[in-house]
Amino acid sequence: MNGHKVPVAAILALGLTQIIGYGSLYYSFSILAPDMARDLNWSSEWIFGALSAALLIGGLAAPTMGKWIDRFGAGRVMAGGSAIAAAALVACALSSGNVAFVISLIAIETASNLVQYGAAFALLVQIKPQVAQRSITYLTLIAGFASTIFWPITTALHAHMSWQQVYLVFAALNLLICLPIHAWLSFKVTKSKKEAATVKHVEPSLPPSIRTSAFVLMVTGFALESFVNAALLVHMVPVLSALGLGAMAVMVGTLFGPSQVLSRFTNMMLGGGLSQTTLALISAVLLPAALVILITTAPSVPGALVFAVVFGLGSGLSSIVQGTLPLALFGSEGYGRRQGQVLAIRLVVSSTAPFVLAFMMENIGVLWSLTVAAVIGAIAVVAFIAIGRLAHLLDRSRHTLGPVET
């Protein structure tokens, strides 16, 4: 029975480092960006363009990081990532020119891949593969509060400090809190492997003959979901304002975060009986469904509120299945490498999303832009349906051939 218990201490510790990791390395940027732009004599577009470039380059490095996770262990990689993140934040705070700032920002977003969900999911798989799906769900429930916690923390600090000083505080959090926790978790994985000679690995649910096709479909689905998610997250308030919601746009946008957490809590309580492929399909359906609701009801405030809730539910569930679906389909062996490949493609695609949506809104209008985004989301739905179809056809052929083989 003990083997079926989730590693509560590890999940809680990782939850704290994920809140700090996402909060300090990603969510704080939008609040500090206006002052960064002023100090660098850049427009807001250039600052966010630099962030997109940093995310893109960080994404290209993800496959290598995935291999490191499999080779050296996720705990060691995350401990090193915390040190790199702290150094990069300090370098960014002390950067004396535009080039140094951009290089430091690239280092920050590259380090973030070493300490955020991709690595954290792999660590939970390495600690206890047989309960990793539940562990990942619990972790995302905790980490879902990162924006809720760090937006006000960053705002409060920035009221009394420059953006450079805020980054120095965040560097200290990564160095003094996250680094020791990740080092302890690395020791925990090493110790558990020595004590348990027979670690129960999660076996793939798919046969070798269809794994490549299923992997391509899964990556396609995740990448298109990430595109829709990233595009709407950056532009949510401007989109709602352009649709005629005015001052209500900000209030509607605030429902997104709590809805993400609600979807993760609902999945934790009720999702145990559903397959990971089904959960992936549900999350994919919710995103374009939310956009259709917004398109057909605008400028209705109740319609916009429903959009924000449904979109948040889909986004929250998506972050879970991005960790659990690869484990269910392809097993725990080589999990880090696969996560690195998935993360790379997702980040490359999603890093272009804010610019692409802004360009479309400027040239074809908001409603048509949202329609295009909904179509992209619908293609992701088709990809996950195809995965289920592949598995279903294989099962049926097995049943058909079974009596002949015996």
Task: Please say if the pLDDT value at position 406 is more than 60.
Answer: no
- Give pLDDT tens digits for 35-73: 998 998 887 778 878 888 888 888 888 888 888 888 888
Question: What pLDDT score was predicted for residue 404?
Answer: 34
Nearest Cα to 345, choosing from 66, 63, 108, 77? Answer: 63
Largest alpha-carbon pair distance within the chain? 76
Give residue 1's pLDDT band: very low, low, confident or very high (50, 70, 90): very low
Give residue 176's pLDDT band: very low, low, confident or very high (50, 70, 90): very high
Residues contacting 170, CB < 8 A, separation 6+? 20, 24, 25, 28, 89
* Amino acid identity, position 2: N
Task: Please say if the pLDDT value at position 209 is more than 90.
Answer: no
C-beta neighbour count of 55 within 10 angstroms: 23
Question: What pLDDT score was predicted for residue 394?
Answer: 63
DSSP 365-403: -HHHHHHHHHHHHHHHHHHHHHHHHHHHHHHHHHHHHHH
C-beta neighbour count of 364 within 10 angstroms: 12
Above pLDDT 90, what percent of the chain?
Answer: 33
Average pLDDT of the chain to the nearest whole number: 84
Nearest Cα to 323, choosing from 152, 116, 181, 93? Answer: 116
CA distance 62 to 350: 14
- Give the 3-state secondary structure of residue 75: helix
Per-residue pLDDT averaged across 191-218, rounded? 73
- 281 or 254: which leads in pLDDT: 281
DSSP 190-251: HHHHHH-SS--PPPPSS-HHHHHHHHHHHHHHHHHHHHHHHHHHHHHHHHHIIIIITTHHHH
Least confident residue range of 84-98, 130-144, 233-247? 233-247
- Give pLDDT tens digits for 24-34: 998 888 788 88
Q: Alpha-carbon torsion 117, 19, 311, 328, what sign?
A: positive
Rg for the chain, CA atoms, rounded: 21
Give residue 368's pLDDT band: very low, low, confident or very high (50, 70, 90): very high
Per-residue pLDDT averaged across 280-298, rounded? 92
Nearest Cα to 24, choosing from 225, 177, 251, 238? Answer: 177
